[in-house]
C-alpha cells in the first residue's frame, strides 16, 4: 500500500509587515459582503473603531440592516461575541451579572457584558438605569458588583444600535453617555443598485441566520497589530493643532449650547489615525480629520433649542466649525 502524500503543513503564516489595516479591510469587506449589501462606510467605521479601541453607535430607521451589519461584523472577528437585546424590562444585572449561591457559597455569575464584542441592540429601548450600567462598563472596562470589581475582557468593543430618537417608546441616551462612543454612524437607505441587489440575495425565509455563513477572517493578533499600527501613526503639530481648533470651534458656534469635550478631541485624533491607516498612510492629513469629524462629533453637540426648532442639525454645525478653521498646509 502506498502511503498517501502527507498534506503540506500550513506552517505559521508570517504576515508581511506593512499596511495591516488595509489588508484587514479588504478581508472584512469580502466576508461581510456575503451577507450585507453595501453599507461599506459603516463597515469601515466599525473597523476603524476596533483598531482605535473605541465603541460604535449605529443609528438608523428600522430595517436598514443595523443589527445584521453588527452581527455579521462581529462574526467576522475571531473573538467571543454576545448579543443583548435592550428591552424595556432589561435590568442592569441582566447585563453585568449577579451573585448567586453555589454550594452555599456566593459566586459571581458574569452577565453578557463579559465578552469581546457586545452587540447592544436597540439601546434606547431600555430605561436609563440599564443604559448607565452598560456605559459604566464601557468607561471603566470593569463591572462592580457588591463592591468587587470584575475586569472585562480585552479587547472589549460595544456595537450599539438605536433608532433615531424621534421614534416613540424610547429613552434617549444622555449626551454625557453618548460621549463615550467613539463614533456615531448613521446607517441610511441603500442606493438603487444595492436595494435591488439585496432583494436578489439567496435567503431562507426572513431570519437573521444568514450571518451564520460568515467565517472569522480577523484574529485577535490581527487586531492587536492593527491597534499598534494606529498608535504608531504620525501626527504633525499642525494637524494636532487643526484637531483642537475644530473641537474648540464647536464650542463657540451660536447654534450650539454644549460643544465638543476634550475627550471628543482625543477621539477625533485617534479616529483620524485609523482613517489614515485605512487610506494606506502612516501619517494623518487634515483630510483624514475632516473625513471622520462628522461621525466622531455629531452625537456630542447639544444644539440650542432655537436652532433645533429651525431644524438645524449637528452635522451642519460641524460643517460650520470645519469651514471656520484654516486648513494647515
Ligand atoms: N444592506 C442590506 N443587505 C442585506 N440585507 C438587507 C440590507 N438592508 C436590509 N436588509 C434586509 O432587511 C433585514 C432587516 O435588517 P435588520 O434587522 O438588521 O434591520 P435593523 O436596521 O436592525 O432594523 P430595526 O431598527 O428594526 O432593528 C435584514 O435581515 C435583511 O433581510
Ligand atoms: Mg435591529
Which residue, 206, 231, 256, sits at the end of a domain?
231
Residue 72 Cβ < 6 Å to ligand 1: no
Q: What is the pLDDT of residues 281-295, one digit of tens each?
A: 999 999 999 999 999
Q: What is the distance in A from the centroid of ligand 1 to the CA of 208?
A: 9
Residue 8's pLDDT band, with cuts at 50, 70 and 90, is very low
Residue 50 Cβ < 6 Å to ligand 1: no
Q: Are residues 268 and 224 in the same domain?
A: no
Residue 307's pLDDT band, with cuts at 50, 70 and 90, is confident
Q: Write out the three cell numbers for 149.
A: 470589581
How many domains, the chain? 2
> Closest Cα partner for 269 from 241, 250, 248?
241
- Choose one of 68, 85, 193, 212 to mutate for the ligand 1 pocket test, by most ligand atoms within 8 angstroms of C-beta: 68
Q: What is the pLDDT of residue 20?
A: 86
- Choose one of 65, 125, 126 to mutate for the ligand 1 pocket test, by most ligand atoms within 8 angstroms of C-beta: 65
Average pLDDT, the chain: 88
Q: Are residues 264 and 288 in the same domain?
A: yes
Residue 63 Cβ < 6 Å to ligand 1: yes
Find the domain containing 42 and state its range.
18-188+216-231
Q: What is the pLDDT of residue 207?
A: 57
Q: What is the pLDDT of residue 200?
A: 79
Residue 141 lies in a domain: yes
Provide mean pLDDT across the span 243-252: 96
Please tell me the pTM assigned to this model. 0.88
Distance separating alpha carbons of residues 124 and 113, to the nearest angstrom? 17
Residue 38 Cβ < 6 Å to ligand 1: yes
Q: What is the pLDDT of residue 6?
A: 46
- 8 Å CB contact between 127 and 166: no
- The CATH number assigned to the domain holding 267 equals 1.10.8.80
Residue 36 Cβ < 6 Å to ligand 1: yes
- The CATH number assigned to the domain holding 42 equals 3.40.50.300
Provide mean pLDDT across the span 167-171: 75
Q: What is the pLDDT of residues 128-154, one digit of tens each?
A: 999 999 998 998 899 988 888 899 998
Give the list of residues 6+ apart from residue 37 with CB closer than 8 angstroms, or none.
190, 194, 197, 198, 201
Distance separating alpha carbons of residues 248 and 266, to the nearest angstrom? 12
Provide mean pLDDT across the span 304-315: 88
- 8 Å CB contact between 118 and 133: no
Residue 277 parent element (H or E): helix 262-278
Please identify, by atom number, the ligand 1 atom nearest to the C-alpha of residue 69: 18
Q: Is the pLDDT of residue 236 over 80?
A: yes
- As a whole-number percent, the residues of the chain with pLDDT over 90 amount to 62
Residue 67 Cβ < 6 Å to ligand 1: yes
Alpha helices in the chain (DSSP H): 20-32, 40-52, 66-75, 92-96, 128-140, 175-178, 192-199, 220-231, 237-250, 262-278, 286-297, 305-309, 314-324
Q: What is the pLDDT of residue 211?
A: 63
Amino acid at each position: 500500500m502506498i502511503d498517501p502524500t502527507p498534506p503540506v503543513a500550513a506552517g505559521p503564516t508570517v504576515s508581511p509587515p506593512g499596511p495591516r489595516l488595509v489588508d484587514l479591510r479588504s478581508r472584512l469587506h469580502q466576508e461581510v459582503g456575503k451577507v450585507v449589501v453595501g453599507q461599506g462606510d459603516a463597515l469601515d467605521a466599525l473597523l476603524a473603531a476596533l483598531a482605535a479601541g473605541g465603541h460604535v453607535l449605529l443609528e438608523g430607521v428600522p430595517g436598514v440592516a443595523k443589527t445584521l451589519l453588527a452581527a455579521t461584523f462581529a462574526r467576522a472577528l475571531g473573538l467571543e461575541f454576545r448579543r443583548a437585546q435592550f428591552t424595556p424590562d432589561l435590568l442592569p444585572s441582566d447585563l453585568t451579572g449577579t451573585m448567586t449561591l453555589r454550594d452555599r457559597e456566593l459566586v459571581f455569575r458574569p452577565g453578557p457584558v463579559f465578552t469581546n464584542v457586545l452587540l447592544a441592540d436597540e439601546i434606547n429601548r431600555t430605561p436609563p438605569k440599564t443604559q448607565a450600567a452598560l456605559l459604566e462598563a464601557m468607561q471603566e472596562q470593569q463591572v462592580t458588583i457588591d463592591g468587587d470589581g470584575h475586569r472585562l475582557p480585552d479587547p472589549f468593543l460595544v456595537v450599539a444600535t438605536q433608532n433615531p430618537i424621534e421614534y416613540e417608546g424610547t429613552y434617549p441616551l444622555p449626551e454625557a453617555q453618548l460621549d463615550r462612543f467613539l463614533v456615531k454612524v448613521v446607517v441610511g437607505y441603500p442606493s438603487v443598485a444595492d436595494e435591488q441587489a439585496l432583494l436578489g440575495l439567496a435567503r431562507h425565509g426572513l431570519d437573521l441566520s444568514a450571518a451564520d455563513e460568515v467565517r472569522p477572517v480577523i484574529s485577535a493578533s490581527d487586531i492587536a497589530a492593527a491597534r499598534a499600527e494606529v498608535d504608531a501613526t504620525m501626527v504633525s503639530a499642525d494637524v494636532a493643532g487643526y484637531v483642537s481648533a475644530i473641537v474648540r470651534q464647536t464650542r463657540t458656534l451660536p447654534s450650539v449650547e454644549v460643544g465638543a469635550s476634550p475627550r471628543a478631541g482625543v477621539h477625533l485624533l485617534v479616529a483620524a489615525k485609523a482613517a489614515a491607516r485605512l487610506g494606506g498612510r502612516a501619517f494623518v492629513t487634515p483630510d483624514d480629520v475632516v473625513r471622520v469629524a462628522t461621525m466622531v462629533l455629531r452625537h456630542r453637540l447639544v444644539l440650542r433649542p432655537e436652532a433645533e426648532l429651525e431644524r438645524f442639525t449637528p452635522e451642519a454645525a460641524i460643517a460650520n466649525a470645519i469651514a471656520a478653521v484654516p486648513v494647515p498646509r
